[in-house]
Structure 1
Amino acid sequence: MPKLPDFNDDDELATWFDTHDSAPYMDDMKEAEEKFEVIRTAFVTRPVDVRLRSDYLEAIQEVAERKGVPYQILVQTWLLEKLTQEAPDLVPQ
Structure 2
Amino acid sequence: MSKTNKIPTFKTEAEERVFWETHDSTDYVDWSRAQSVSMPNLKPSTKTISLRLPESLLEQIKIEANKRDMPYQSLIKAWLSEDVKENRRAQ
Q: Give the TM bin, normalised by the shorter chain.
A: 0.5 to 0.7
Task: State the Cα deviation string for residues 12-69 of structure 1 (Å, max 9, x = none).
Answer: xxxxxxxxxxxxxxxxxxxxxxxxx772531000111111000000000000001000
Amino acid at match of 2:50: D
The number of aligned residues is 52
Q: Calculate percent identity across the aligned residue pairs.
A: 27
Q: TM-score, normalised by structure 2?
A: 0.52
- Asked if residue 47 in structure 1 is aligned to residue 9 in structure 2, the reply is no
Query: Unmatched 5+ residue regions in structure 1?
Result: 1-36, 89-93
Name the CA distance, whole Å, in 2 between partners of 1:79 and 1:48.
14
Which has the bigger relative contact order, CA under 8 A and spacing at least 6? 2
Structure 1 residue 87: Cα displacement: 1.8
Name the CA distance, whole Å, in 1 between partners of 2:75 and 2:62.
9
Q: TM-score, normalised by structure 1?
A: 0.51
Alignment of 1:1-93 (within 5 A): 39=39, 40-88=41-89
Query: Unmatched 5+ residue regions in structure 2?
Result: 1-36
Runs of 4+ aligned residues of structure 1 deviating over 6 Å after TM superposition are none
